[in-house]
Amino acid sequence: MKNKTGVYLIGALGSIATTVAAGVIAFGKGLIDTTGMITSTPLFEGIELVETSELVLGGCDIRGATSSREGSGGLADLMGVSPRIVEAIEEELLKYRADIDTGVAINCGEAIEALNDRGQSPKSTLREEIDIVGKKIRNFRQSRGLDTVVVVNLASTEPPLELSACHNSLELFEEVLDANRRQKIRASTIYAYGAIAEGCPYINFTPSNAALFPAMIEFASGNRTPVMGDDGKTGETLVKSVLAPLFTCRNLEVMSWMGFNILGNMDGQVLDNPDNMESKIRTKDRVLSKILGYSPHSKVKIDYVPSLGDQKTAWDFIHFRGFLDSKMSMQFIWQGFDSILAAPLVLDMARLGELAKRRGEAGLMAQLASFFKAPIGASLHSLPEQFELLADYATKVRGDF
Question: What's the pLDDT score for residue 104?
Answer: 83
The answer to whether residue 313 scores a pLDDT higher than 50 is: yes
The answer to whether residue 71 scores a pLDDT higher than 70 is: no
| 246 and 225 both lie in a single domain | no
The pLDDT-based confidence of 3 (bands split at 50, 70, 90) is confident
| 21 and 113 both lie in a single domain | yes
Last residue of a domain, one of 336, 355, 371: 336
In the chain, the number of structural domains is: 2
For the stretch 225-271, pLDDT in tens is: 999 999 999 999 999 999 999 999 999 999 999 999 998 888 787 77
Bigger pLDDT: 401 vs 353: 353
3-state secondary structure of 320: strand
For the stretch 353-388, pLDDT in tens is: 999 999 999 999 999 999 999 999 989 999 999 999
How far separated are the first and last CA of the chain, in Å rounded? 13
375: domain range? Answer: 5-232+340-400
Percent of the chain at pLDDT > 90 equals 78
For the stretch 164-220, pLDDT in tens is: 999 999 999 999 999 999 999 999 999 999 999 999 999 999 999 999 999 999 999
CATH of the domain at 200: 3.40.50.720
Question: What's the pLDDT score for residue 72?
Answer: 40
Tell me the pLDDT of the chain averaged across its residues: 91
| 183 and 246 both lie in a single domain | no
The pLDDT-based confidence of 33 (bands split at 50, 70, 90) is very high
The answer to whether residue 292 scores a pLDDT higher than 50 is: yes
| 244 and 260 both lie in a single domain | yes
Question: What's the pLDDT score for residue 67?
Answer: 46
Contact between 182 and 205 under an 8 Å Cβ cutoff? The reply is: no
Question: What's the pLDDT score for residue 122?
Answer: 56
89/108 Cα distance (integer angstroms):
33
For the stretch 314-352, pLDDT in tens is: 999 999 999 999 999 999 999 999 999 999 999 999 999
- Other C-beta atoms lying within 10 Å of the C-beta of residue 293: 8
Last residue of a domain, one of 311, 336, 361: 336
Question: What's the pLDDT score for residue 65?
Answer: 59
Question: What's the pLDDT score for residue 73?
Answer: 45
